[in-house]
Chains A and B, each alone.
Chain A
Amino acid sequence: ILNVEQSPQSLHVQEGDSTNFTCSFPSSNFYALHWYRWETAKSPEALFVMTLNGDEKKKGRISATLNTKEGYSYLYIKGSQPEDSATYLCAFSSGSARQLTFGSGTQLTVLP
């Protein structure tokens, strides 16, 4: 069983603040790293899928970076808004099976 850790577990920020959180994963046998946003009472939705060391992806105010050699990915949110409040999940794949191993998520609350 692969170990995928996310930190912090929860986070409260003020509207307008920028924030970031971390996903740590095994650095060996890397194939892909996924980020999902999960809003309360909704389905998790994919933000990014990254496969290459040094990859950077951006979607509006949200961006992510990937370091496969040291086994971590950062998710950044610039100028947080209340609608960014959600749980952010990362998931790691070693490519050895059609399976993803999910972290337990970072729960972000943006206060107006």
Chain B
Amino acid sequence: NAGVTQTPKFQVLKTGQSMTLQCAQDMNHEYMSWYRQDPGMGLRLIHYSVGAGITDQGEVPNGYNVSRSTTEDFPLRLLSAAPSQTSVYFCASSYAGQPNEKLFFGSGTQLSVL
């Protein structure tokens, strides 16, 4: 079982560069989300989606774009990377996004922006 697959695991960018973090799940989950993890802080929600074609903003959406063209994939785009976006990024999914459903996480992407 692949579960939630994130790529790449590590990435170094220069300020102003763009990139896409990939996330795919094979569990037929409707809900997918992106979090960032910074030292001393809890996971913070960037964007989420409750199904194909539907996305919404979380707590810290600025500087990030998402789209959900299929149930399986939920890429996160950084259009113009900034040093403040240096962080560990996690993709997570659940069956329907109900608050009492556990989240399944990907293995994370460690991003450094110089």
Name B97's contact: one of A45, A98, A105 (CB within 8 Å). A98
Contact A95 B99 (CB under 8 A): yes
Contact A49 B102 (CB under 8 A): yes
Name B108's contact: one of A43, A93, A94 (CB within 8 Å). A43
Most B-side CB within 10 Å, residue of A49, A51, A94, A100: A100
CB contact list, B58-114 vs A, under 8 A = 58-59, 90, 97-108
- Using C-beta atoms within 8 Å of the partner chain, give the interface range for chain B: 20 to 34
By a CB distance below 8 angstroms, the chain B residues around A98 are: 31, 48, 50, 97-99
Taken residue by residue from 20 to 52, chain B's Cβ proximity to chain A (1 for < 8 Å, 0 otherwise) reads as 000000000001000100001111110010100
- Does A46 count as interface, using CB distance less than 8 angstroms? yes
Contact B102 A43 (CB under 8 A): no
By secondary structure, the A interface counts as loop
Rank and list the top 4 A-B pairs by shortest CB-CB distance, nearest first: A102-B42, A93-B99, A46-B102, A98-B97
CA distance A45 to B102 in the complex (A): 9
By a CB distance below 8 angstroms, the chain B residues around A103 are: 42
| B23 smallest CB distance to A (angstroms) | 12
By a CB distance below 8 angstroms, the chain A residues around B104 are: 46
| B32 smallest CB distance to A (angstroms) | 11
Name B42's contact: one of A31, A45, A104 (CB within 8 Å). A104
- CB within 8 Å for A104 and B90 given contacts A31-B99, A45-B105: no
A-B contact pairs, 12 of them (CB 8 A): A4-B42, A34-B103, A36-B103, A43-B107, A44-B90, A49-B101, A89-B43, A93-B99, A98-B48, A100-B99, A104-B40, A104-B42
Most A-side CB within 10 Å, residue of B40, B50, B98, B102: B102
| A10 smallest CB distance to B (angstroms) | 11
Contact B41 A43 (CB under 8 A): no
Name A44's contact: one of B31, B48, B105 (CB within 8 Å). B105
Closest to B99 in A: A93
CA distance A53 to B90 in the complex (A): 30
Contact B103 A100 (CB under 8 A): yes
Contact B58 A99 (CB under 8 A): yes
